[in-house]
Amino acid sequence: MDIVIRAAVAFLVILLLTRIVGRRELNTLEPFDLILLVTIGDLVQQGVTQNDFSVTGMMLVGSTVALLTVAISYTNFRFPRLRPILEGEPVILIEDGNVIERNLKRHRLTQQEVAAEARYQQIDSFEKVRWAVLETSGKISFITKS
């Protein structure tokens, strides 16, 4: 039972860390970020299993993480009021060509980063943008003016 509790605590800590880090940072992984994720995975594994290399231990940890993932997904679906906490909410970055600086600062984005994303979508000026929305996935959606 100890291994299940450690796996559940590790899962919740990782969930909390991903919410703190922010969606924009998780959307763009650099090579260093990938190395960091692998290292964190190894450190978490050591803390969860405490040198338990048995098949039973592996199945308990895997099952616990899978069940918690399904539980979070179900909670997200079943209780809409918890959705902003578990998944986040889309944030408007540009409205009718005007950049909302407060929202950029809150999500640690610069106008240059948003402009680069706009150029990827063939938009050369904020004046052409009706809405730019930072989605919960970390991607920026642009809706242009007609």
The string of pLDDT tens digits covering residues 9-60 is: 888 887 777 777 665 555 666 666 666 666 777 767 777 777 777 777 777 8
pLDDT of the residue at 129? 96
67 and 102 Cβ atoms separated by less than 8 Å: no
pLDDT of the residue at 26? 59
Higher confidence at residue 139 or residue 49?
139
pLDDT of the residue at 90? 92
Residues near 96 by Cβ (< 8 Å), separated by ≥ 6? Answer: 129, 130, 145
pLDDT of the residue at 30? 61
Higher confidence at residue 45 or residue 106?
106
How far apart (Å, rounded) are the C-alpha atoms in residues 119 and 115? 6
124 and 117 Cβ atoms separated by less than 8 Å: no
Pull the structure tokens for residue 60.
């308990």
> pLDDT exceeding 70 applies to what percent of the chain?
87
Backbone angles phi, psi at 22, to 5 degrees: 105, 150
What is the average per-residue pLDDT within 52-71? 80
How far apart (Å, rounded) are the C-alpha atoms in residues 118 and 141? 9
The number of beta carbons lying within 10 Å of the beta carbon of residue 43 is 11
SS3 23: helix
pLDDT of the residue at 34? 60
Q: Tell me the one-letter amino acid at 50.
A: Q
What is the average per-residue pLDDT within 85-98? 91
Please report which residue ranges of 22-94 form alpha helices under DSSP H: 23-27, 31-49, 55-78, 83-86
Per the prediction, the chain carries an average pLDDT of: 83
pLDDT of the residue at 29? 62
pLDDT of the residue at 7? 84
Sign of CA dihedral 37, 42, 43, 45: positive
How far apart (Å, rounded) are the C-alpha atoms in residues 92 and 99? 9
